[in-house]
A and B are shown apart, each in its own frame.
Chain A
Amino acid sequence: MTEAALFESILASLPEIVVVTGACVLLILGQFVPKGQAYFLVCASIAIVLIAVLGTLMLANEVRPAYAGMFIVDRFATFFKLLFYIATVLTFLLSPKYADIEGIQSSEYYVLLLLALSGMMIMASATDLLSIYVGLELMVLCTYVLTGFLRQQRRSNEAALKYVILGAVSTGIFLYGVSLIYGLTGTTQLDAVAAAVTGDPLDPGLLLAVVFIVAGLVFKVGAVPFHMWLPDVYEGAPMTITAFMSAGPKAAGFAVILRVFLNPLVASSHVWIIVAVIAVATMALGSFVALVQDNFKRLLAYSSIAHAGFALFGVVAGGADGIASVMLYLLIYAFMTLGIFATVIMMRNGDFSGEIIEDYTGFAKLHPALALLMLLYLFSLAGIPPTAGFFAKFYVLVALVERGFVMLAVIAVLLSAVAAYFYIRIVMVIYMREPERAFDPALTPLVRATLALTAAATIGIGLFPAWFLRLAQQSVFGG
């Protein structure tokens, strides 16, 4: 690699470098920050992310391949990086008060979030199976630790352990698939694999490799049959981390899925059949199991499985519209899921956990404005217009029908009618019962800001989707 190429590469990966360096600096600085000064850490972390945002926007004007084809900066990566920044910053905003209530005082919490962010950024930009692996591991290792951050709580430890073991297995499977690919084609670079694969679509070895890679990646987005970890981890992890995981790492998993499935292999294999089966099974399982949940976090975990299933329908559709629909779906989903988690996090105050759905009985009577926000997020998750959630689903369906998958579209809408039930059941608890207790939501200015931003996005994208749609359509790779 020449010096000029190295310089170009470093320039292209500058946002990642900023985040990693910032995280390391913060790790050292954190030791000197007195306990209870969480606001300094939050401000510093947000400042680091903002510098990275600036860098990303400045680099967005052209496509920059880097590190000899392992890394690329294109609009697709930029779109996902912006999505990750939003998810991370909103998580930072939610964190200080919650960390205070739960007794999390170490600065590593923020450092690990930043490192997870850098991992996701690498995933979005990776164009080689090995750089994908590096980003993926960086991200999940951080989330393993963050999941177990409530050290005194048994279920937090249990969730972390479960996550580590299952995650390690899935990573192993992924790596095995990569090694098969390397053995068969002699390369791990996505474009080169594509070029090598086109010859014989039904090579059984290659098919096996694809199945392994599918299994490894699908684990990260929590799709059936690799979803078992998700409800336990969502329930056990600190709520801010759950919110973060359902928005950021899930989107990162999809970024990789889009790159891997729709780049080299889709033309040469029938991988879309596997993905279609997974999508239907995922959505069905998420929707039906969520019906019987009493715990809000578990319900949102299954809801996130169902949403992953719906987004996978967009992957099945493929093509420019299919990719754009998944991207838009993930962006909108990030806003509404962070919004609904923000309301759950806000309820956690003192001894009150706010984790059981019945805890919200009659909430609307005492806090009409907050209840209205929850109503907005819930109907958006259910996909009722004029909220953004509807437009997200609508666009995926358009992509599906356009490809001729009308039956899949019918299955998707019928399952989302099932899913609508558990969202409106929460609305029912909030609005249609008499309150039994007083509520004391932990409404700090930062939480308020999160709620305002997510609510504005949820209703705003729903009413004026044109700009966001164009953004997603222009960010599709290869176009």
Chain B
Amino acid sequence: MGFPLLSLIIFTPAAGAAVLMFLRSDEAARWTALGVTMLDLALCVAMLASFDTDTHQMQFTESRPWVPALGITYALGVDGISALFVFLTALLGWVCVLASWVAIERSVKEFMVSLLVMQALMLGVFCALDLFMFYVFWEAMLIPMYLIIGVWGGNGRVYAAIKFFLYTLAGSLLFLIGVIVLYLQGGKTFDILALTAQDLPFPVQSFLFFAFLVAFAVKVPMVPVHTWLPDAHVQAPTAGSIILAGVLLKMGAYGFLRFSLPMLPEASVHYSTLMLALSALAIVYGGLLALAQDDLKKLVAYSSISHMGFVTLGIFALNFRGLEGAILQMFNHGVTTGALFLFVGLIYERTHTRSIADYGGLMKVAPVYTVFLALFTLSSMALPGTNSFVGELLVLSGGFAANLAVGAAAVFGALLGAAYLLGMYRNVALGPASVGARFKIRDVNGREMTAILPLALFVLWVGLYPKPFLNIIDASVKHLLAQVHSKGSGQ
């Protein structure tokens, strides 16, 4: 066992949170949080730099006994599937601190503590190689997220926070039963790799598949359990929305990739049509809802549902392009939607309205803002040259190979995406400059630019040269696919 890099990555924010509790001034809290997240990001870059792209094995593994009597270990590791998300979490953590710099006015210290704790837990979820540990991290996230939405959110924050909490909790508790059943079936171990290696009888797989589905579908969220998302997004502070859209939603999809597919291959193959149909439903339904929104945040929130539909579609296409596209698209969605929420937050700080009807002609007063907004809007509708194009294309080609009707629905959803996003952009940025008369609007400043630029960089980098990113996930996806098809072909 070498240097515990992953432990360091997870516990740096946690330690930072502990230090923050003893600080007195708001300014010190902000700078400390920024320093901690930057350090964490640097550690993640170091991790990616020495990541071996040729193997599907877990890397940087650590293992220590935790509760030996129940076969629980403290086990960490990353492979091609999780490495990107560890990096994404750290990147967005840093962006979140910048986004909350002035947006959070009261209890700054407590907010930064929640944010850092949240980051530590999210990193833990992606690194955990022990099912019990995964569950602890997964569930513990509810506490800081509940506070972030409920304490620092908008006017309807309490309702939104409680709804978020109860939805997610109800989903996760069934997952917990699934975890325990899996533990007992798998010879009393929580080791994810050992559980992946075994064969379960089909009825057990089916039961577990649905127990897991409830938890993951709530997190993704898939229609019809998506209703917590618009409330939570609209009420959450900007940083909360970025975390929700950027990282939390990915966890459901990550759960499918890490547990449902490799551990329950037969059930995954058997129910893949159902999952494809649900995904197509989410794509079209989310798109239609987004089309009808006047609130900027709600629009981005519903677009998230639609975009996450692409991700689940790619996953349950169960072919190479679909899976690879899904994982890349998860990363892209984190970057792009995170950026869009950041942009909504930036403009909201200035005008205190999110209604699209209140805006118009922003181009004239804030040119830099609108240029970058254009970039991220185009990225969100998957224009060639941006990151989502690569991901969505892969997903679509995988989707068509799996099911023609679902592929067609997805294309229709992509068209809807173009409609609501372009409509939004036209109403906000173009047209007569009605907005400058009513609000004093300044363009983005240096601090905001620091948060925007890295995200813009990834939009173009993945869009123009996706190879390094695909390289990271390649070996693991191939291995995952081999697992699914060698075991699941019995169906």
Q: Give the B-binding residues of A (Cβ under 8 A).
A: 365, 368, 375, 379, 384-386, 390, 394-395, 397-398, 401-402, 406, 409-410, 413-414, 416-417, 420-421, 424-425, 427-428, 431-432, 465-466, 469-470, 473
B107 to chain A minimum Cβ distance, whole angstroms, is 8
Q: What chain B residues lie within 8 Å of A424 (beta carbons)?
A: 146, 162, 165
CA distance in complex: A398, B135 (Å): 14
Tell whether B142 is near chain A: CB-to-CB under 8 Å: yes
B87-116 at interface with A (beta carbon < 8 Å):
107, 110
B427 to chain A minimum Cβ distance, whole angstroms, is 34
Residues A385 and B166 in contact in the complex (CB < 8 Å), given A401-B184, A406-B181, A424-B146 = no
User: Do the beta carbons of B135 and A385 come within 8 Å of each other?
Assistant: yes
Tell whether B277 is near chain A: CB-to-CB under 8 Å: no
Residue of A nearest to B139 (CB): A385
Q: Would you list the 3 A-B pairs with minimal beta carbon distance, nearest first? A: A413-B173, A385-B136, A466-B67
User: Do the beta carbons of A397 and B143 come within 8 Å of each other?
Assistant: no
User: Do the beta carbons of B139 and A417 come within 8 Å of each other?
Assistant: no
Q: What chain A residues lie within 8 Å of B66 (beta carbons)?
A: 466
CA distance in complex: A384, B146 (Å): 12
Contact of A397 among B140, B157, B176 (CB under 8 A): B176
A324 to chain B minimum Cβ distance, whole angstroms, is 9
CA distance in complex: A285, B151 (Å): 31
CA distance in complex: A185, B425 (Å): 85
User: Do the beta carbons of B170 and A431 come within 8 Å of each other?
Assistant: no
CA distance in complex: A414, B172 (Å): 10
User: Do the beta carbons of A409 and B177 come within 8 Å of each other?
Assistant: yes
Q: What chain A residues lie within 8 Å of B70 (beta carbons)?
A: 395, 398, 469
Q: What chain A residues lie within 8 Å of B142 (beta carbons)?
A: 384
User: Do the beta carbons of B166 and A428 come within 8 Å of each other?
Assistant: no
Tell whether B420 is near chain A: CB-to-CB under 8 Å: no
Q: Which of B66, B157, B162, B169 has the most CB of A within 10 A?
A: B169
Tell whether B147 is near chain A: CB-to-CB under 8 Å: yes
A476 to chain B minimum Cβ distance, whole angstroms, is 12
Q: Give the A-binding residues of B (Cβ under 8 A).
A: 65-70, 107, 110, 135-136, 139-140, 142-143, 146-147, 150-151, 157-158, 161-162, 165-166, 169-170, 173-174, 176-177, 180-181, 183-184
Contact of B147 among A395, A397, A414, A431 (CB under 8 A): A431
Residue of A nearest to B180 (CB): A401
Residues A413 and B174 in contact in the complex (CB < 8 Å), given A384-B143, A420-B169, A428-B150 = yes
CA distance in complex: A365, B110 (Å): 10
A-B CB contact pairs (8 Å), 15 listed = A385-B135, A390-B136, A395-B70, A397-B176, A397-B177, A398-B184, A401-B180, A409-B177, A413-B176, A417-B169, A420-B165, A431-B150, A432-B157, A466-B67, A469-B67
Q: What chain A residues lie within 8 Å of B165 (beta carbons)?
A: 420, 424
Residue of A nearest to B106 (CB): A365
Residues A421 and B166 in contact in the complex (CB < 8 Å), given A384-B140, A466-B66 = yes
Residues A397 and B170 in contact in the complex (CB < 8 Å), given A368-B110, A385-B135 = no
Q: What chain B residues lie within 8 Å of A421 (beta carbons)?
A: 162, 166
CA distance in complex: A272, B232 (Å): 43
CA distance in complex: A416, B166 (Å): 11
Residue of B nearest to A415 (CB): B173
User: Do the beta carbons of A398 and B162 come within 8 Å of each other?
Assistant: no
Q: What chain B residues lie within 8 Å of A414 (beta carbons)?
A: 170, 173
Residue of A nearest to B110 (CB): A368
Residues A401 and B135 in contact in the complex (CB < 8 Å), given A413-B174, A432-B158, A466-B68 = no
B280 to chain A minimum Cβ distance, whole angstroms, is 30
User: Do the beta carbons of B69 and A473 come within 8 Å of each other?
Assistant: yes
Task: Beyond the given A375-B143, A384-B139, A398-B180, please list 17 additional residue pairs across the A-B interface where CB-CB is below 8 A.
Answer: A384-B140, A386-B136, A390-B139, A394-B176, A401-B180, A406-B181, A413-B177, A416-B173, A428-B161, A431-B150, A431-B151, A432-B151, A432-B157, A466-B66, A466-B67, A466-B69, A469-B69
Residue of B nearest to A376 (CB): B143
Residues A410 and B174 in contact in the complex (CB < 8 Å), given A417-B169, A466-B66 = yes
B228 to chain A minimum Cβ distance, whole angstroms, is 14
Q: What chain B residues lie within 8 Å of A395 (beta carbons)?
A: 70
Q: Which of A385, A406, A469 has the most CB of B within 10 A?
A: A385
Q: Which of A368, A406, A421 has the most CB of B within 10 A?
A: A406
User: Do the beta carbons of A410 and B162 come within 8 Å of each other?
Assistant: no
Q: What chain A residues lie within 8 Å of B67 (beta carbons)?
A: 465-466, 469
Q: What chain B residues lie within 8 Å of A375 (beta carbons)?
A: 143
CA distance in complex: A420, B164 (Å): 13
Q: What chain A residues lie within 8 Å of B176 (beta carbons)?
A: 394, 397, 413
CA distance in complex: A409, B181 (Å): 10
User: Do the beta carbons of A425 and B177 come within 8 Å of each other?
Assistant: no
Q: What chain A residues lie within 8 Å of B69 (beta carbons)?
A: 466, 469-470, 473
A126 to chain B minimum Cβ distance, whole angstroms, is 29
